[in-house]
Amino acid sequence: MIPVSVITGFLGSGKTTLLARLLRDPAMSRTAVIINEFGAIALDHDLIETSDESFVRLSNGCLCCNVRSDLMLTLGDLAVRRAAGTVPRFERVVIETTGLADPAPILHALMTDRDLCEVYALDGVVATVDAVTGLATFEHHVESLRQAAFADRIVLTKTDLPGARTTAIKQRLAKFNPGAPIFAVERGAIAPSALFDCGLYNAARKHTDVQTWLADASVAAAGGRAHHSHADKFTTFSIVRDEPLHAVTLALFVSALAENCGADLLRMKGIVHVAEEPLRPAVIHGVQHVYHAPVWLERWPSEDRRTRMVFIGAELRESWIRGLLDLIEAEVADETERCARKSATSHELSA
Amino acid sequence: MRVDDVGVRAFLADSLRLWRVAASVEAGKPPIVAVIRTQEGAIVWVERPSGQAMPFRWLVRSRGAGEAPGSPREEHPRACASLVTLLNTIRGLLRADHGSTARIAPAPPDE
């Protein structure tokens, strides 16, 4: 049986950072990874350095909404390819869910689908919780509570940042998932052995609500009622730019997003072609009003050198965000031209 | 590439909706690009300064709700160097509490 682990956690809570770090460990060398992103453009694949062909990206919807088709087909296909030797003989599967995923249908499928259960065994659920925004997110987004409640292991991220409420979050987590060990982790640095090989998933060990949610998922999977739709509550869109952005444009744009959108913008991430650094892209991340300084990759991860940014939020104003970038670009271009004209005039006068 | 006045007004109107501020945006007599009027009666004028004011790109004058014309905020404009500063200034004048101060977390160290 091939163990399957699920990494879940709310938008921007550090799932991709954790996974990227885990995959660098030699103990994870025989791992097939399935990444599911909520957004028109898949970026996480570019942010995790791997050349392994057993890397699958699902970007046409949320796993928990399309679990019967996408996840089962993907896992089934991986098993066939593994048996045929067309993918490396992986010994573990890790599924990274979207930040909005409800874990219940995913776990239900992994535990009950007859075909899948012949090959795969659910090993455990790892949930990431943001130590800075986690408490507020629990209040406003029930998805984050469900994700943490399902977890066998909880990874508390960003505990090194100012504003981290590590103790308060641990107390809150202890109320609805007392059995899950909590690891305070900085930048995804944790040994795989601490998170994986939990043994078969056992819903009975979890808080009572978890069993209820699993039962709900069972009903939904049987066609008893429609599963929820994220589209009702969240907006996602992407911005793609063929032309590089000036560094100052990027700085102003990120600053204005954080200052004006507040909690409406749940998550922003992007890979940016900065005009001043054409050979390496900047990776930007934002979670609500907290943004990281850009991380510069050593090189472009693919031939695609366009700027690609994904935005996820509740009541997001797409027109405002697009307009903001357009206007800042225009203003920076205008200023650049003005400085160039002034410089040329100065040279003429001095000559 | 100059920022188009119509585009600026549309963007400011969108910004007011983003901040949940009930107000209208209309054109003004040049150099005024936009006049913002809130339902409570406050007025904000956004101007493009002459070239002499560079590097400032925007000037903002305002009159509070119920305030008589000619107050210091109306006579002595605030200068803004960028659109982002302009947004912050207007948000402050309208006391729009939506949004928050940006916080930039430290980047992970190079591996």
The larger pLDDT score, comparing residue A1 to residue B32, is at: B32
Contact B105 A291 (CB under 8 A): yes
- A2-229 carries CATH number 3.40.50.300: yes
pLDDT at B6: 93
Write the burial class of residue B66 (CB in 10 Å: 0-12 exposed, 13-18 middle, 19+ buried): exposed
pLDDT at A68: 54
pLDDT at A53: 45
First to last CA, chain A: 79
Give A 224-263 residues with CB within 8 A of chain B.
252, 254-256, 258-262
B109 lies in some domain: no
pLDDT at A335: 85
Structural element, H or E, at residue A167? helix A166-176
> Does any CB of chain B come closer than 8 Å to the CB of residue A320?
yes
Helix, strand, or coil here: A116?
helix
> Does any CB of chain B come closer than 8 Å to the CB of residue A20?
no
The larger pLDDT score, comparing residue A344 to residue B64, is at: B64
Q: What is the DSSP letter of A67?
A: I
B108 lies in some domain: no
For the domain bounded by A234-350, which CATH number is listed? Answer: 3.30.1220.10
Helix, strand, or coil here: A234?
coil
Please give the Cα distance from B37 to B24 (Å, whole number). 5
B68 lies in some domain: yes
Total structural domains within chain B: 1
pLDDT at A320: 93
> Residue A213 in contact with residue A146, Cβ under 8 Å?
yes
Please give the Cα distance from A144 to A140 (Å, whole number). 9
What are the residue ranges spanned by the domains of chain A?
2-229, 234-350
Contact A295 B105 (CB under 8 A): no
pLDDT at A76: 86
Output the pTM of the full model.
0.67
Confidence of residue A312 (pLDDT cuts 50, 70, 90): confident
B28 lies in some domain: yes
Question: Among A16-25, A61-70, B26-35, where is mean pLDDT lowest?
Answer: A61-70
pLDDT at A336: 85
Report the pLDDT averaged over residues A221-232. Answer: 49
Mutate to test the interface with A, among B52, B57, B83, B111 (most CBs of A within 10 A): B83
Angle between helices A208-221 and A103-112 (to 10 degrees): 70
> Does any CB of chain B come closer than 8 Å to the CB of residue A292?
yes
ipTM, two decimals = 0.86
Structure-token match 């007392």, residue found: A178
Residues of A in contact with B106 (CB under 8 A): 161, 292-293
Q: Could you tell me which chain A residue has the CA closest to the CA of B82?
A: A331
B70-B75-B76-B82 Cα dihedral, nearest 10 degrees: 110
B100 lies in some domain: no
Domain that residue B77 falls in: 5-93
Residues of B in contact with A331 (CB under 8 A): 3, 57, 82-83
